[in-house]
Amino acid sequence: RFNPPEGGATLLDPKMRTSKDFPKWLNAPETKDQLKNKTVMMYCTGGIRCERATALLNQITDAEPEFQTKGVVMVRGGIER
């Protein structure tokens, strides 16, 4: 698991078992509060979950003007162990 440097980014781990769990987590008000007006970095070890999650987050920010991020950055290929 990636640990950001102290004083840097905040790690939000949705603790998902499958990518099907992501929409529910992302639509939760507390999650949106944590992501609002932030730059979001997505990463995973496989890659496909990141692509789906990034696409969903972009769709939601396009559809909800009151919920905006400063952009979504996806680490292609995941994080090497």
Q: Which one from 44, 53, 72, 74 is the annotated catalytic residue?
A: 44
Please give the model's pTM, rounded to 2 decimal places.
0.77
What is the rounded distance in angstroms from the CA atom of residue 12 to the CA atom of residue 33? 12
Whether 50 is a known active-site residue: answer no
- Reported as a single tens digit per residue, the pLDDT across 19-60 is 788 899 999 999 999 999 999 988 766 667 778 888 899 999
Give the pLDDT of residue 73.
Answer: 87
Specify the DSSP element, H or E, that contains 74: strand 72-74
CA 66-67-71 angle, to 5 degrees, is 130
